[in-house]
Amino acid sequence: MRAISIIKSEHKNLGAILYSLDKLIEEIDSGKQPDFSIFHGLFTYLDRFLDRYHHPKENHHLFPKLLLRAPETESLVRELGQQHIEGEILFVGMLKALSAYEFSGAQEFPHFRDSVTSYTEFERKHAQKEEDEVLTRAREVLEPSDWDEIDAAFDANEDPLFGDKWNNEFSDLLDRLINRLPAPLGLGDDWK
């Protein structure tokens, strides 16, 4: 069942990124100049993390096993899979809004702010639903052999920002975020 703690810890890390986005938006709202490169870094990380690391764990391993052992969860699994697609649509909207804001200036900020807020709220609710409904049920119905398979698949797939391999393209982004953001996520505080 190591997979459960991996999913939870990835949700926690995702939560830290969503929180950072909200904080950066608040800063601009209160008059600070935007740092577009931080937004680009965060969006690149989010895209990579969800598309290559997090969603495959759920779509290809956890959800199918849950469906196999608890067929009554079909509509839940379908809804959550659909939310992965909706999240991507919201993500692309946010990316376009960033581009417009960077190109056209302050008049585009309200649209960018709203698109970020919609995205962060959506992803938070999605992760909470997975924890409350999928992880709880999976813990009840999956067999030890299911967990062995899922755990093995999860072990081969590590978060590029918060994982142990710190010397990568995202480590500079993480340093910049920690140095820039206020508590509780900023300098001196625990991100994990």
How far apart are alpha carbons 130 and 146 in whole angstroms? 18
State in angstroms the smallest separation of the CB of 171 from Fe ion. 23
Residue indicated by tokens 């190109």: 103
Between 87 and 93, CB nearer to Fe ion? 87
State in angstroms the smallest separation of the CB of 64 from Fe ion. 14
Stretch 116-145 residues interacting with Fe ion (CB under 5 A): 130
Between 58 and 159, CB nearer to Fe ion? 58
φ/ψ of 170, rounded to 5, equals: -95, -5
State in angstroms the smallest separation of the CB of 24 from Fe ion. 23
Residue 184, preceding peptide bond in cis (omega within 30° of 0): yes
State in angstroms the smallest separation of the CB of 178 from Fe ion. 24
Residues 6+ apart with CB under 8 A from 130: 7, 11, 58, 80
Question: Among 58, 123, 146, 159, which residue interacts with Fe ion (rule: CB under 5 A)?
Answer: 58
Q: For Fe ion, what does the binding mask look like between residues 13 and 42, x meaning CB under 5 A? A: ------------------------------
Q: Other CB atoms closer than 10 Å to residue 122's CB: what's the count?
A: 17
State in angstroms the smallest separation of the CB of 11 from Fe ion. 6
Between 51 and 169, CB nearer to Fe ion? 51
180: which 2 tokens?
């820039």
Pick the stretch among 55-63, 111-119, 134-142, 163-171 that binds Fe ion (CB under 5 A): 55-63
Q: Which residues of 98-113 are buried (b: 16+ CB within 10 A; e: fewer)?
A: bebbeeeeeebbebbb
Between 61 and 101, CB nearer to Fe ion? 61
Q: Other CB atoms closer than 10 Å to residue 169's CB: what's the count?
A: 12
Helix (H) or strand (E) holding 180: helix 171-180
Size of residue set near Fe ion by CB under 5 A: 2
Residues that bind Fe ion (CB under 5 A): 58, 130
